[in-house]
Amino acid sequence: ATPTALLVGTGRGAQLGILIKGPEVLESTREVDTVVLDKTGTVTTGVMTLHEVIGEDRDLVLAVAAAAEQGSEHPIARAVVTAAQTSGLALPVVHDFTSTAGLGVRAAVDGTGEVLVGRPQLLTDAGLDLPADLAAAFEEAGRSGRTVVAVGWSGRVRGLLVVGDEIKADAAQAVHRLRALGLTPVLLTGDHAAAAQAVARELGIDEVVAGVLPEGKVAEIERLQAQGRTVAMVGDGVNDAAALATADLGIAMGTGADAAIEAADLTLVRGEPGLVADAIRLSRRTLAVIK
């Protein structure tokens, strides 16, 4: 390979907003046939807003959840805290806080004791009861494509928070362009299946893997590789870092977490999914010049 052509390729990438870690990265894109896209923050904006609170005492559910979420950097947490502040709710004092990546948070809140906010599974695994009406409401709200999280304390789930973000403006076009290059798109997310399916449908993605825990993302990449596929992974979160490193080509959103950028081979500076196709076209063209 002529190093000059590779350097020209990396220079052209930089002009487009594609930062390439080293010229040799271009080589590894040659065989890519599958592009795994993380959902939240990669094909969606990752800026969430609270749409609805479901429960008997909605103000209490929101205030307690916001108190518990104050220590979390997750987009869901930010949406919940902002909504509580906008509603003028006074947040109870929090004594203790832990967060579990891909599951939710737990905190000791004044007046309510231990509070959990996250996937229903986080709460039911901790022994909290999920009343039938809230279980039904969870399914119903999820069908809209929004993300639904549970809030509970003292032995029972007390309410649900419905949050959502928007699909990025260039995401559908980005998927279309990947297909035009002969690549198969796959949507991979920790979010529940209904929300993932709604986004996949809008983007024209047929292969969806949902409800995946952070450590499960690596296993999914390995599963695809075991099928003989060469996999590019596009992600933005701390939770995506290990999968980005495992993929044959890791692509990070420049708007995402430092851990994701460090683990990736390429960074899309402006966080536009449309640049994935540009990056793959660029490397194919650069390699064609060399051969």
Q: Using the rule CB under 5 A, which residue among 29, 34, 40, 267 binds Mg ion?
A: 40
Distance CA 131, CA 223 (A): 36
Residue 103 found at the interface with ligand ADP (CB under 6 A): yes
With binding defined as CB under 6 A, does residue 76 bind ligand ADP?
yes
Out of 26, 54, 81, 117, the only residue in the binding site for ligand ADP (CB under 6 A) is 117
**Interaction pattern, residues 30-69, with ligand ADP; x per rule: CB under 6 A:** --------xxx----------------------------x
Please state the closest distance from residue 19 (CB atom) to Mg ion, in A. 19
47 φ/ψ angles, rounded to the nearest 5 degrees: -100, 105
Separation of alpha carbons 61 and 139, rounded Å: 19
Residue closer to ligand ADP (CB basis): 23 or 164: 164
Q: Which of 25, 37, 54, 149 binds ligand ADP (CB under 6 A)?
A: 149
191 binds Mg ion (CB under 5 A): no
Q: Kindly provide the b/e burial profile for residues 21-31, where b requires at least 16 CB atoms within 10 angstroms of the residue's own CB.
A: eebebbebbbe
| Residue 104 binding ligand ADP, by CB under 6 A | yes
Measured N-to-C along each axis, helices 193-203 and 171-180 cross at an angle, to the nearest 10 degrees, of 70
Residue type, 168: K
Residue 102 interacts with, from Mg ion, ligand ADP, none (CB under 5-8 Å by kind): ligand ADP
Helix axis angle for 132-142 and 193-203, nearest 10°, is 10
Catalytic residue list contains 129? no
Q: Which is nearer to Mg ion, 159 or 237 (CB)?
A: 237
Q: Are 187 and 174 in contact (CB under 8 A)?
A: no
What single-letter amino acid sits at 132?
A
**Residue least distant from ligand ADP (Cβ):** 190
Rounded distance between C-alpha atoms, residue 103 and residue 174, angstroms: 29
* Cα gap 76→161, rounded to integer Å: 9
- CA distances 249 to 18, 207, 276, Å, are 14, 19, 11
CB of 264 to ligand ADP, least distance (A): 15
How many binding residues for Mg ion (CB under 5 A)? 5
Note the residues at the interface with ligand ADP (CB under 6 A): 38-40, 69, 72, 74, 76-77, 99, 102-105, 117-119, 147, 149, 189-191, 214, 237, 239
| Catalytically active residues, by annotation | 38
Note the residues at the interface with Mg ion (CB under 5 A): 38, 40-41, 236-237
